[in-house]
Amino acid sequence: MPSYRYCFLDSVDHITDFQMIESETDSQARIRADRLLGAFGCAGIEVWDCNRRVYRARKTGALRLSE
């Protein structure tokens, strides 16, 4: 199962913390990111699979990337 890096962002997009979390698919990783964003006091979140950005979301809205 792949490990994704979840980067928690402040209001100016600096990484304040990160967690490595396993998910079976990119879609599951995105769903988990939305849940984490709602549960924590960060302004945004990014999900990475190695050097590939899978997802990015802000508290004010979400931007889905298909890279």
Q: How far apart are the first and last CA of the chain?
A: 20
pTM assigned to the model = 0.83
Number of domains in the chain: 1
Q: Which domain range does residue 49 map to?
A: 3-63
Whether residue 44 contacts residue 28, with contact meaning beta carbons closer than 8 Å, is answered with no
* More confident site: 45 or 40: 45
CB atoms within 10 A of CB 44: 23
Segment among 9-18, 21-30, 35-44, 52-61 with least mean pLDDT: 52-61
